[in-house]
Structure 1
C-alpha cells in the first residue's frame, strides 16, 4: 500500500483548531464518533503487582472483569455519553498471545453487557512491543514479531475496536541520546531508525485492522518523548532538550497515519497535537488525571486539543473513594463534562485559552503544546520531503521558537536552559543534509551494543 503524504496543514484557522473537533472524525460500528464535538473519557487500567502465569490467569481475568465492571457502573451513574477503555497489555500477555486475547475478550464482554444497558463504549487494545532483548532475532520476523502480530490479530477478532502500540524501534539509541543530550543521535533514532520501523510495523497493523473490521488507531513515542519529559521533570536533563525531542517525535509517530492509521492517536503521545495539525486525525491526550502514573508540567494545556481524555494508567488498588479505576473514571467523566459543557455554551475557545495560559509560560514542554506554536512549527515541518528532513526541521524550528519565546518573555526558563539551546543548535549544525551519508556515519560510529543495524535491515 502506498503511503499517504501530508504536504499541507489540516487546519489553517486557529479558531477551528480546538478540542473535541477533528477534520477527520472516526466513526465506529456502535455509532460513537471521535472528533465530532464530544470529548470522551478514556480509562486506562492495569493490574496491581502480580505474577502472570498459567496458574494465575484465572485471577488476572477476574480482576480485569471487576475493574471494567466498576468503571461501567460509574459511567452509567454519571450519565457518560460514552466511554473508551484502553488495555495496555503487560509483557506476559504479549509473550503469550492467547493470554492477551483472553484479556481483550473478558473486557469486551463486559463492555458489551453494559452497551445492552445503554452505555456506548469502545475498547482500545495495546499489546506491549516485546521486540527487544538479547534473544531478538529480527525486528520484522521471528518469534517476537510473530507474537505481537498474533496478539493484534486475535484481539481484533474477539472485538477490540482500536489497535494501538507504543513501538520501540530505535529506542536503545534514543535512550543513550537522551542521557547524553545528544541531538544528532536522537535525530537518527527517530527520523531514520524509528521511522523505518514504524513504516514496516504500521503497514502490518493496518492490514490486520482492515481484515478484522477494527480501527488502526495510532502509535505513541511514549518510550521516547515521555522518557525525555519525565527525566527533565526530575532535572536529570535540560527541559529544552525534552521539548525539542517531543516535536521531533511527532514526525516518527505520524508515520502510522501515513501508513493508514486513522486515530484517535494514543493518549501518552503528547506529540499527537502535531499529528492533529498536519493530518486532521483525532487524538487522545492525558494531563492532570495522569498524575497517578507520572508527574508533568503540562497538566492543563494538553486538554486544549484533545478529542479523548485519558488518565495514562491506574492500578487496580483500593482508595478511600473506591477502587482506583472506578475513581479515575469518575474524574475523567467530570473533566469531559466540563469540556463538553463549554462547547455547548459556545465558550470552548475561552476554556481552551485558559488551559493554555495556565501552563504555557512555565515550562518548555508546555510551550510547544500551545495550539498556535503547534500550527507554526507544523507548517515548517511539512516542508521536508522525507521523515529525516522533517525531523531535522522539527529540531531546528523548535530551537528557534523556544529562543523567540524566551526573548519575548512568553516562556520562563533558567539561564542553564538558555545556554543548552545554543549547544543543541551547534550539535544540529553537524548533521549533514544527505540522509544516506548521515546514516552511514551514525552506524560507523555506533558504540551501543544493544543496537544492531542488521535487525532493522539497515
Structure 2
C-alpha cells in the first residue's frame, strides 16, 4: 500500500476524535468514529520478575486493572483502551506475557459483561532485538520470542498489536548525541524503514491469523529520546523538531504494510500518520507527565482519537493507586473534548485551536505538531515514493517551515539554536541521491561500533 495523496486536505476536517478510517473492534467499540477515549497504560512497581515471582506479578496486574475499571465505571467512561507494555522478562519468556494478557483481559471481559463498560486491549511486547546477543534483526531467538509473544497474547485476548521497534537505533544514539541529522535520517529513513517493512509484514500476518488488529508502531526510542534530551538542555530543540518529522516517514511504513491503527501513543509523529492515511491515532501529552516531561502537553491532543498517559507504575499516591489516578485524569480530559465536539464542529475546532495555540509558539517541537503545519509538510512527504526520498524532503520542508516561523515570530527559538537550521540543511543537501552510496558512507562513519551491517543483510 502506497499513499500518494493526503487523507485530509482541509485543516478544518482534521480534528480529535474523528478519523477518515475508524477502527471497529470486535465488541463494537469504534476508535476514530466521533468519540475520543482514554488509553490507560500501566506497569509494575519495582519488583523482580522470575518464574517464582510470577504469581505476585499476576496478582499485581489484576489489582491494577480491577481498581482502574472500577473508577472508569464510577466516572461513566463510555469506553477505553488498556495498554500493557510488556517488560523484557515477559517477552524473553513469551508464556509469561501470555499469562499476564489472559489475567488482565478476563477482568476486562467481566466488567463489560456485568457493567457494559466496553474496553479493548493493546499489547506491546518490548523489542528485545536491541540486546547485543540478538543474532539478527529478522530471524533467530530474539525475533522468534517477539513473534511468539505477539501470537500467544493475541490468542489470549489482546485486540491491538503494537511495538516500539528499534531498527536503526544502533546508529541513532550516536546521531542524536552529536546532532548529526544525516545520521538520524539514515537511522530512520533507511535502516528503520527497512526494518519496519520486514517487522510489520510479520505482525500483520499474525493479526490476520488470530483475528486481531495490527495497530501501529512508535518512534519512541528515536524522537522521544531526543525530545527528553532537548528538554534537559543536552541537544537543541530545533534538532529534535526535525527528527520528529523524519520519524513520521519510518512509522508510516507500518501502515503501508497493512497496519490500520490506532497508531501507538508515544509516537507524537502519529499526527502525520493520520494526515496522510486517515487512520486513528493515540496521543499523549500533559497527562503523560507521570512518565516523562514534554513541551507538547496540550497540542498533542489536537487530532488524537485516543488520549493516553504513556505509562505509570502501580505505586500509592494520596488520591489512590497511580494507574487509577491516571485513568481519572484521562477520563476528564476526554470528557471535556467530547463535550466540545457534541456542541458542534465549530466548538470542537475552537478547543482544538486553543490546544494548539497554547503550545506551538513556545517550542519548535510543538510547532511541527500544529495541524496546519502537519498538513503542509505531509503534502511534500507524499510526493516521493521511497522512505529514503521521503525522509529527505520531510527534513528539508521542516527546516523551511521553521525558518519561516522564526522569521515571522510565530515560534520561539533561542539565538544559540538558530545556527542549527542552516547546518542541518547543508547536511541533508549533501546526502547522495543514490541510497546504496549513502548506506556505504554511513557504515564508514559509524564511530560507535554499535551498528552491525550483517544484522540488516547490508553489504560491507
Q: TM-score, normalised by structure 2?
A: 0.98
Equivalent residue, structure 2, for 1:314 = 312
Aligned-CA RMSD value: 0.7
How far apart are the structure 1 equivalents of 2:130 and 2:294?
27
Q: Secondary structure at the match of 1:163?
A: strand
Equivalent residue, structure 2, for 1:276 = 274
Equivalent residue, structure 1, for 2:43 = 46
Equivalent residue, structure 2, for 1:199 = 197
Superposed CA offset, 1:279-321 (max 9, x none)? 1100000000000000001000000010000000010000111
In the alignment, is residue 368 of structure 1 matched against residue 368 of structure 2? Answer: yes
Superposed CA offset, 1:135-163 (max 9, x none)? 11111111000000000000000110000
How far apart are the structure 2 equivalents of 1:12 and 1:296?
29
Equivalent residue, structure 2, for 1:96 = 93
Aligned length: 455
Q: Secondary structure at the match of 1:216?
A: strand
Equivalent residue, structure 2, for 1:291 = 289
Q: Secondary structure at the match of 2:361?
A: helix
Superposition deviation, residue 178 in structure 1: 0.2
Deviating more after overlay: 10-19 vs 439-448: 439-448
Superposition deviation, residue 444 in structure 1: 2.9
- Which structure 2 residues correspond to residues 271-420 of structure 1 after superposition, within 5 A? 271-346=269-344, 347-420=347-420
- Which structure 2 residues correspond to residues 156-305 of structure 1 after superposition, within 5 A? 156-305=154-303
Superposition deviation, residue 445 in structure 1: 3.0
Superposition deviation, residue 447 in structure 1: 2.8
Q: Secondary structure at the match of 1:131?
A: helix
Equivalent residue, structure 1, for 2:429 = 429
In the alignment, is residue 64 of structure 1 matched against residue 94 of structure 2? Answer: no
The unaligned stretches of length 5 or more in structure 1 are: none
Q: Secondary structure at the match of 1:53?
A: coil
- Of 30, 33, 39 in structure 2, the residue corresponding to residue 33 of structure 1 is 30
- Of 16, 19, 42 in structure 2, the residue corresponding to residue 19 of structure 1 is 16
Superposed CA offset, 1:381-438 (max 9, x none)? 1111100000011111101100000001110111111111111112112111111111
Superposed CA offset, 1:155-182 (max 9, x none)? 0001100000000001010010000000
Q: Secondary structure at the match of 1:45?
A: strand
Q: Secondary structure at the match of 1:90?
A: coil
Superposed CA offset, 1:177-234 (max 9, x none)? 0000001111110111000000000000000001001100000000000001000000
Q: Secondary structure at the match of 2:216?
A: strand
The unaligned stretches of length 5 or more in structure 2 are: none
How far apart are the structure 1 equivalents of 2:231 and 2:444?
33
Q: Secondary structure at the match of 1:305?
A: coil
Superposed CA offset, 1:330-379 (max 9, x none)? 11111000010000011100000100010000000100000000000000
- Runs of 4 or more consecutive aligned structure 1 residues displaced over 2 Å after TM superposition: 444-448
How far apart are the structure 2 equivalents of 1:448 and 1:196?
21
